[in-house]
Amino acid sequence: MAAGRGRTRRVSLPGVAELLRPAAPGPDGGDQRQASGRERHTQKITVYLSAEELLDLERARFALLRYGAAADRGRIVREAIAVLLADLDARGMDSLLARRIANANRADPAHADSGQHPTGTTESAV
């Protein structure tokens, strides 16, 4: 039997109501999401990066290290996601994430709604 065959990989996903709810305000009362930090993570996604994006991520890691804020790539990505999602919750279409994606979709309408990653994978695997 090939590795991984015979086993199903079921992931527990949140319901629509949970996905569409605004983030809860952070402890300071602001609309801040908290990244999960250094803990065991049970959920996983695969993200494909260009060589330039990976190099930029490494540069950010070393810059943070110089500032006395050591973090691995996963932590940097989780923090970036938390910041962008908090901005999306607070500002909606005026958020940096929404504006960048809308601009990218206008520039390349072929990939706007296809759910297809340029490598041929679907977004669920990206």
25-35 confidence digits (pLDDT tens): 444 444 567 77
Overall pTM surpassing 0.75 (yes/no): no
49-89 confidence digits (pLDDT tens): 999 999 999 999 999 999 999 999 999 999 999 999 999 99
Q: What is the CA radius of gyration of the chain?
A: 17
**Neighbour count for residue 91 (Cβ, 10 Å):** 14
**CA pair distance 94, 26, nearest whole angstrom:** 21
| 74 against 111, higher pLDDT | 74
Sign of CA dihedral 66, 71, 76, 77: positive
